[in-house]
Amino acid sequence: MTDDILRRQAIMPAAPAAAASLIEPLLAEVAGAGAEPVSLTLDYGPFAAAGARVTIEAQVERATRTLVFAYARLLSSEGQVLAAGSAVFRKPAPIINAG
């Protein structure tokens, strides 16, 4: 796991997939520009009401030449884990200059 943790403060939205809507964009950001999602898994903990202040943390667990494995947590203002997610992203293919 890398030491670089992205953190964002947010307000819990009123949506059926509220946790996913907060976690997935930060996972994509930590995976890097142009990375395409391959899989996403979310595990839910205690319910958080719409309007609650939350923190989202994400970091790269491991990266290969072609894939990025990332992990994220959605935390209550008291630090309780409300949801956790892991994702795999495909890195963009390098541009080869043939000319």
Q: Is the pLDDT of residue 97 over 80?
A: no
Asked if residue 40 lies in contact with residue 85, where contact means CB atoms within 8 angstroms, the answer is yes
In the chain the domains, ranked by start, together with CATH numbers, are 6-90 (3.10.129.10)
Asked if residue 76 lies in contact with residue 18, where contact means CB atoms within 8 angstroms, the answer is no
Q: What is the pLDDT of residues 5-26, one digit of tens each?
A: 999 999 999 987 999 999 999 9
CB atoms within 10 A of CB 60: 20
pTM confidence score: 0.87
Three-state DSSP class for residue 23: helix
Six-digit token string for 73: 């947590």
Q: What is the pLDDT of residues 39-74, one digit of tens each?
A: 999 999 998 899 999 999 999 999 999 999 999 999
Q: Is the pLDDT of residue 82 over 70?
A: yes
Asked if residue 58 lies in contact with residue 70, where contact means CB atoms within 8 angstroms, the answer is yes
Q: Is the pLDDT of residue 98 over 90?
A: no
